[in-house]
Each structure stands twice: as structure tokens, then as C-alpha cells.
Amino acid sequence: MLKRIVIASALFLSTAAFAAPKNGEMAPDFTAKASDGKEYKLSQFKGKTVVLEWFNNDCPYVKKYYDAKEMQKLQKETTAKGTVWLTVASSAAGKEGHVDAAGMKKIQADRGMASTAALLDGSGEIAKKYEAKTTPHMFVIDKTGKVAYQGAIDDRPSASAKSLVGAQNYVTQALAALEKGEGVKTASTTPYGCSVKY
């Protein structure tokens, strides 16, 4: 058993060394189909700030933010400023939270989501490029295409709605700093939530 663990981790290490996104470095480019039928390429948004949000509709930590309408509010405020918000659904086929275009569209309508697009990443291709670990796992990419923030959405690793009160939202802080042309103070944190269902 020990042997198997060692092999598995060695495999992961080799991919990790290749792809781990770093703050201040170019965010890995990707092309993906969205629930609206269109294809989106990260590099098409150069000149705009981009938020990546890992999403799984059935994850309690994602629900915490959507049931309280906080995520929708954040999406609305952010996209209103011309920032691009990409929701990424990376659950593999047969796993919790896996969606096809129609399924995602329905969730977007039911939840009143306001992200620019919801990318269908059932293959986990984007998730692997970003080493997305949890839902939610957040990335903020600045106008030049460099990673400016990665990690948790806030400082309250809890699924309880009560934890929203008094929480520090790292994404809001990062976006505000970028808007002012300042450096992001808390640029990476450990994300919390359900695991990405690869």
C-alpha cells in the first residue's frame, strides 16, 4: 500500500512541477466550451481582469455562498465594472456536480448567477492546469494576464451561513487592490471546501 502511495504522489509531483500557476506569472491559457454554446479562450480577455471560480452546485461550501446570494452579488458587482468572471464546473462525468450545457444553464437561471460565462470542464483540463483543489477555489488574473490572487474565497472555512458575517473576502480585496493599481496584500491563501471531483 505504501508503495502505491509513493508512486501516485511521484506522478502528481511531475505534473505539478509543470503546471502550478504562480502569482505574478502568466496564468495558463485554456479554451473551453461554456453552457451558452460559445467557446471561450482565456487569452481573449487580455486587458481585462479575470476571476476564475471553481464551482460545484452540490457542494455545501458553494451552496453557502449561493444560498445567501453573496456569490451572485459579487458576480454582479464585479462584472458591472468590466471584469470577466468565469465559473468553472470541473466535476467529472458520474461525479457529484457534473453538468452538461443544459444542466448548467438551468442552474445559472435558478441561482440567478451573473458570471460572464460558465465553463464546462468535465475533463478537468482547466482544473489540472490551475491545480484547482476545492470548490470554491478562486483565482484573480490581472489585466496583463498574470495571476494576482489564488486561494480561498474568504477567511472562514465553514459551511455555515453564519460564517459569512464578519468574513474577510479575499477576492473582493484583491479586486479592489487591482482597481487601485496596488499590489494584492493577501495574494495566496489555502482554499477550503469540497474537493474538485476529478
Partner 1 sequence: MIRFALLFMMFALATPSFAQKDFSSWRKHSQGRLVSETDALHPGNPGTIGVHITLEKHWHTYWVNPGDSGTPIRLNFKNSPGVKIKQVLMPLPERILTGPLVSFGYSQEVLLLIDVEVDASVKVGTTAEFQADAEWLVCEDVCIPAFDTLKISLPVRELAEIKPTAEFALFQKTRAGLAQVKNPYPKFSANGEQVELKVDNFDGREFVEFYPFKNSGVNNVKPSVASGAPLVLQFAKSAVAQEKEGRVGVLVSKGPDGTLEAWQYGDSGWAFEEELEKPKENVWWMILSAFVGGLILNLMPCVFPVLSIKLLSLLKHAESHPGDVRRENFAYVAGVLFSFLAIAGALIAVRAAGTLVGWGFQLQSPVFLAAMIWLFFALSLNLAGLFEIDFLDSGMGGKFARLGGVTGSFFTGVLAVIVASPCTAPFMGVALGFGLTQSTAMLFVIFLSLGLGLAFPYLVFAVFPAAIKIMPRPGAWMNTLKKVMAVPLLLTTAWLVWILAQVLGNDGALLAMAGCAFIALWAFVAWKPLNYLMPILLAACVVGFGIVERAHDKMKDLSAAIPSDWLPYKADMPELKNERVFIDMTADWCLTCKVNERLVLDTPEVKDLLKSKNVTLIKGDWTKRNEEITRFLARYDRVGVPFYVLYSPQHPQGQLLPEVLSKRTFIEFIKKEFPD
The set of residues, in sequence order, having a beta carbon less than 8 Å from that of 180 and lying 6+ positions away, is none
CA–CA separation, 176 and 50 (whole Å): 13
Distance CA 6, CA 96 (A): 27
Nearest distance, CB of residue 37 and partner 1, angstroms? 28
Q: 78-117: which residues touch partner 1 (CB under 8 A)?
A: 95-96
Closest listed residue to residue 55, CA positions, set 66, 44, 45: 66
Q: How many residues bind partner 1 (CB under 8 A)?
A: 52
- The residue range among 33-41, 43-51, 55-63, 109-117 that interacts with partner 1, by the rule CB under 8 A, is 55-63
Of 25-54, which residues contact partner 1 (CB under 8 A)? none
Helix (H, G, I), strand (E, B) or coil at 2: helix
Contact 48, 83 (CB under 8 A): yes
State which of positions 6-25 bind partner 1 (CB under 8 A).
6, 8-10, 12-13, 15-17, 20-23
Q: Which residues contact 38 (CB under 8 A, 6 or more apart)?
A: 117
Q: Is 158 in the site for partner 1 (CB under 8 A)?
A: yes
Q: Shortest distance, CB of residue 194 to partner 1, whole angstroms?
A: 4
- For partner 1, the binding residue among 60, 79, 103, 125 (CB under 8 A) is 60
Could you say which of 103, 125, 146, 173 contacts partner 1 (CB under 8 A)?
173
Smallest separation (angstroms) from partner 1 to the CB of 38: 28
Tell me which of 73, 144, 160, 183 binds partner 1, using CB under 8 A: 160
DSSP letters along 149-192, please?
EEE-SBS---S-GGGGTT--BHHHHHHHHHHTTPPPSS-B----
Residue 191 preceded by cis peptide, ω within 30? no
**What residues make contact with partner 1 under the rule CB under 8 A?**
5-6, 8-10, 12-13, 15-17, 20-23, 58-61, 68, 95-96, 124, 128, 131, 133-134, 150-151, 157-161, 164-166, 168, 173, 176, 185-186, 188-198
